[in-house]
Structure 1
Amino acid sequence: MLNTVDWALLFMRVSVSLLLLKVHGLPKLLHFSQQVQVIEDPFGLGGAMTVSLAVFAEVLCPLLIIFGVFTRLACLPVIVLLLVSLLLVHPQWSLEEGQFAWLLLILFTALTIAGGGRIAAGRSVFAWQNSLQWSH
């Protein structure tokens, strides 16, 4: 039986992932070549690789999180991206200037700790997989 925590985790997973996707991920994906020219490259990987890693963390990972597939694992690249942004790319930001990133960091870290909850496509995949393992 589902409880309020499951519904809250679903709401948090979907809302925070859609926010990241809309505000950061899709603009990078849709304007990839422009982003390559302007993105900060703190590790010297080159613009294309840096944007590709950002698109992975801000597009693919949020989609996995929305559907509840590998939620904890999918949160890790987002957390790393946010930490790099806050600590290396924009260390001069005040708390007020970085509040959006800090809030995202808090929410994705909470999802890493709590997991996606029981309302998740990933749970049905694993339940199906487990039923196959037990039937042997």
Structure 2
Amino acid sequence: MKILATAAPAPPIDLGLLFLRLAGCFMLLYVHGIPKVLHFNEQLAHIEDPFGLGPYMNLLPAIFAEVVCPIFIILGVAARLACLPIIAVLLVAMLAVHPEWTVEQGQFGWLLLIIFITLALCGPGRWRIRPGYREEIHDRRPG
């Protein structure tokens, strides 16, 4: 008797995961990532420093998490791993930088956290770029 299905996810699930990847990453890039890169010097002057590491050590990991990681997630390459820095930055922002915020004030951050934790748990789905996929197809051909 099978309790858990071992078949691949159904296409609607893969479409939902693709939608989560694209929506979450484009929102993160548009609202946080790209402005940090475009206004780097201004961001250095204003970035919060909850752990006393200095502005560079706060801004550079944030840019990595908010610009580089979303690109990997959009492509579906190492998506689960790429979610981890985003989750870490969001947790620091919500719990250490803005602990006084109500749920209403921090709803965007909490929703992004929900999206990226879901992607970290579920993975990118079937619709992604898979390195080595051509070799898999080539190896299956007879002869």
TM-score by length of 2: 0.86
Which structure 2 residues correspond to residues 112-131 of structure 1 after superposition, within 5 A?
Answer: 112-121=120-129, 124-128=130-134
Q: CA deviation at 1:132?
A: 8.6
Letter in 1 for 2:52: G
> CA 1:45–1:126 in structure 2 vs 1: closer, same or farther (change >3 Å)?
farther
Choose the corresponding residue for 2:72, options 64, 67, 73. Answer: 64
Residue number in structure 2 paired with 1:102: 110
Letter in 1 for 2:74: I
Which structure 2 residues correspond to residues 5-16 of structure 1 after superposition, within 5 A?
Answer: 5-16=13-24
What's the % identity of the aligned pairs? 49
Choose the corresponding residue for 1:38, options 46, 67, 77. Answer: 46
Q: CA deviation at 1:46?
A: 1.1
Residue number in structure 2 paired with 1:53: 61
Q: Which moved more, 1:101-110 or 1:45-54?
A: 45-54
> CA 1:38–1:7 in structure 2 vs 1: closer, same or farther (change >3 Å)?
same
CA distance in structure 2 between the partners assigned to 1:94 and 1:39 by the alignment: 21
The Cα RMSD (Å) is: 2.0
Structure 2 spans left out of the alignment, 5+ residues? 1-7
| Greater Rg over alpha carbons, structure | 2
Structure 1 spans left out of the alignment, 5+ residues? none
> CA 1:70–1:133 in structure 2 vs 1: closer, same or farther (change >3 Å)?
farther
Higher helix share: 1
SS at match of 1:125: coil
> CA 1:10–1:129 in structure 2 vs 1: closer, same or farther (change >3 Å)?
same
CA distance in structure 2 between the partners assigned to 1:11 and 1:112 by the alignment: 14
Query: How many pairs were matched up?
Result: 132
TM-score by length of 1: 0.90
SS at match of 1:16: helix
Q: CA deviation at 1:127?
A: 3.0
CA distance in structure 2 between the partners assigned to 1:87 and 1:7 by the alignment: 32
